[in-house]
Structure 1
Amino acid sequence: MIKAVVFDFDGTILDTESCEFEGLQTIYKEYGAELPIEVWGECIGTHANFFDAHEYLEKQIGKSLDRDMIKQKRKDLFTEQIKTKSTLPGVIEYLEAAKRLGLKIGLASSSTYEWVSSHLDNLGISEYFECIRTSNDVENVKPDPTLYMETVKCLDIKPEEAIAFEDSSNGAKAAKQAGLYCVVIPNLVTSHLTFDDLDLKLESLAELKLEDMISRFTNEHKEGK
Structure 2
Amino acid sequence: MQLLAFDTSTETLSVAVQAGERVWVHEGAGGAQASHTLIPAVRALLAQAGLELAQLDAIAFGQGPGSFTGLRTACAVAQGLAFGARGGAGLPLLPVPTLMAVAEEARMAHGCGRMLAMLDARMGEVYVGAYVWLAEAGCWHESEAAQLLAPRQVRVPEGWASAGNARPVHGQALAAGTPDVAALPTARALLALAPALLRQGRAVTAQQALPLYVRDKVAQTSAERAAAAQAARPA
**Pair in the same fold by TM > 0.5:** no
Bigger relative CO (Cα 8 Å, ≥ 6 apart): 1
The structure where helix makes up a greater share of residues is 1
TM-score normalized with structure 2 length: 0.29
TM-score normalized with structure 1 length: 0.30
The structure where strand makes up a greater share of residues is 2
